[in-house]
């Protein structure tokens, strides 16, 4: 049951990532991925439009009733107003726990906050 909860939290996170204006000319600047096949992984990417993502996960308490996965990461994007927003998060047995930061120049839009907290 816990694995399903964490999986759904992860899927909600992926779905809630803000989507900026579509740019067909976005290029991948950096990509790295590592999966040990035993429950730990890490990936990161960076694109020419300023968006980035870095995430790692690991299974904890392996073989016990408390076995679960802990996911830590961040993603950022440049909004149409030119401000960079960064969401840092942990998803574990306590649920999805995001925090958001903004670059200089403005307040965090209420729609962004609403998409993160549900």
Q: Confirm if 54 and 35 have CB atoms less than 8 A apart.
A: no
* Domain residue extents for the chain: 28-115
pLDDT confidence band for 15 (50 / 70 / 90) = very low
Give the pLDDT confidence of 52-89 residue by residue, as tens digits.
999 999 999 999 999 999 999 999 999 988 899 999 99
Work out the mean pLDDT of the chain and round it to a whole number.
82
Reply yes or no on whether the pLDDT at 16 is more than 70: no
How many Å apart are CA 49 and CA 70, to the nearest integer? 29
Q: What is the DSSP string of 23-63?
A: -TT--EEEEEEEE-SSSEEEEEEEETTS-EEEEEEEEESTT
Q: Is the pLDDT of residue 1 over 60?
A: no
Report yes or no on whether pTM surpasses 0.75: no
pLDDT at 112: 67
């Amino acid at each position: 049951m816990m694995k399903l909860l964490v999986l759904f939290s992860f899927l909600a996170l992926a779905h809630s990532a803000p989507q900026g204006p579509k740019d067909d000319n976005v290029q991948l600047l950096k990509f790295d991925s590592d999966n040990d096949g035993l429950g730990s992984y890490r990936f990161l990417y960076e694109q020419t439009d300023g968006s980035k993502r870095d995430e790692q996960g690991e299974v904890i308490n392996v073989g016990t009733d408390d076995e679960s996965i802990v996911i830590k990461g961040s993603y950022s994007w440049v909004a149409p107003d030119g401000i960079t927003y960064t969401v840092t998060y942990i998803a574990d047995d306590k649920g999805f726990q995001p925090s958001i930061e903004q670059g200089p120049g403005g307040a965090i839009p209420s729609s962004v906050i609403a998409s993160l907290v549900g």
